[in-house]
Amino acid sequence: MFFRILGGKIFKLLILAVKRAFLALFGGFLYEEKKRQKPIRKWAGRLHLWLGLTSGIVVFIVAITGCIFAFQDEIQDVTRDWRKLPAQQQQFVAPSQLLHKVHSLLPNSTASFVTYNGKERPAHVYAFMNNVPYYLYFNPYTGELLHVQNLNEDFFIIIENLHMYLLLPEAIGKQIVGISTIIFVIMLITGIILWWPKKKKQLATNLKVRWKARWRRVNYDLHRTAGIYCALIALLLAITGLGIAYEWMHASFYTVGNLGQDYPADHEVPKITEIPEAVLPQAFDRAFYTTVEKLPQSGMYFVLDQGADKPILTGAYPKALTFDHQSNFYFHPKTGQPLASHLYAEKSPGLQFQEMNYGLHTGQYFGLLGKILAFFTSLFVAGLPMSGFMIWWGRRNKKGSKGSLVA
């Protein structure tokens, strides 16, 4: 009981601090009433209403699945014992050996991508057989098979596909989610317009919930305050989500990050003149071990067979299961000889921005705090379509109401 009371007081103090900071930042301007505000608020209200009614279900699904996915690594670590193993002071098993074991276990499969997730986690190989994707997990020191994961049946992969494609074919689902996300961005903007107080003295009122009022008023206040408190983070999640869904948005991150300047080194890939029949296992192993030698403190590595006519690509990340600050190396598919390198520090700001997009979207770029913020923001966003619908439905059925959602 003591901790519940203490936690409630701390939460109230945090809300009070946010209110005062907001008042300090925005309390001094944009509060003169203008006649032209009325048509702006009127059209913002109409947009907010009808866009919300058309996209609400999709926004709810995307938000609630994002909320579930935020701590997927932590949940899997607790529920799947094969994801952790004791660290050993010995060399990782060669990636060619892991590929050989995959082909022995799944004779008709194709596999070319091997990831080493640090000293305390299994290595895994991505394989594809009969149109079914698999992850095969191995002890990185002995090569012992630990687990075979059918990605079409994995809970968190299903949640991810629901989040990105609504479990529809990718070409269809991506467009529905993408368009709904664009609509959500517009709704965030119109929601801020509707929330914005007409007078300065109304600002503090618009930042709080009247908990003792009737439930309709509480729902209305929750819709407004939750929306305004999470607006900036929700906008970040929406924009980075669009960067994952659409190549044009992803490319815009490069342009914005580089202030319109292009860096040719970001796009240079060594050409292979002496092309072997296939990537040689010795070359594949040499590429991996050379990468480990160059960046021995990295927490995660990968090695990718791109085909005999392209260089072997490797990558290193500072932390396991964290997909940013990536350094890359290129090797000859026949000899494993180093051809080029592209360290993280050498990449342009735009390319770094592109590569951190996933971490920004999931919150993992900012560590545990980022995941917590992503979790609660997604939870609040999931509640916005429901509370907004209840506002509309209540006004629609109220006698004398015009059904407007304008605040």
Tell me what percent of the residues of the chain surpass a pLDDT of 90. Answer: 69
Q: Which of 266, 286, 285 is nearest to 342 (CA)?
A: 266
C-alpha triplet 212, 224, 64: angle, nearest 5°: 105
- Which band of pLDDT confidence, cut at 50, 70 and 90, is reported for residue 41? low
Q: Which of 44-53, 70-79, 169-178, 203-212 has the lowest mean pLDDT?
A: 44-53
Tell me what percent of the residues of the chain surpass a pLDDT of 70. Answer: 86
End-to-end, the C-alpha distance of the chain in Å comes to: 38
pLDDT tens, residue by residue, 188-200 = 888 888 788 777 7
Please tell me the predicted confidence (pLDDT) of residue 16: 56
Mean pLDDT of 239-252: 96
Mean pLDDT of 40-54: 72
pLDDT tens, residue by residue, 91-121 = 999 999 999 999 999 999 999 999 999 999 9
Please tell me the predicted confidence (pLDDT) of residue 237: 97
Please tell me the predicted confidence (pLDDT) of residue 131: 92
Please tell me the predicted confidence (pLDDT) of residue 402: 47
Burial 186-196 (b: 16+ CB within 10 A, else e): ebbebbebbbb
Distance (Å) of CA 127 to CA 124, 144, 156: 10, 17, 18
Burial 75-112 (b: 16+ CB within 10 A, else e): eeeeeeeebebeeeeeebbbbbebbebbeebbeebebb
* Dist. CA 217–CA 198, nearest whole Å: 19
Per-residue pLDDT for 324 more than 50?
yes
Average pLDDT, the chain: 88
Single-letter amino acid, residue 357? N
Please tell me the predicted confidence (pLDDT) of residue 89: 92
Per-residue pLDDT for 37 more than 50?
yes
Please tell me the predicted confidence (pLDDT) of residue 257: 96
Per-residue pLDDT for 133 more than 80?
yes
pLDDT tens, residue by residue, 51-98 = 777 889 999 999 999 999 999 999 999 999 999 999 999 999 999 999
Helix H segments across 308-356?
349-355
Distance (Å) of CA 364 to CA 291, 330, 340, 360: 25, 27, 29, 7
Please tell me the predicted confidence (pLDDT) of residue 12: 57
C-alpha triplet 39, 43, 47: angle, nearest 5°: 170
Please tell me the predicted confidence (pLDDT) of residue 25: 47
Are 301 and 315 a contacting pair, CB within 8 Å? yes
Please tell me the predicted confidence (pLDDT) of residue 285: 98
Distance (Å) of CA 293 to CA 99, 326, 329, 345, 346: 21, 16, 12, 18, 19
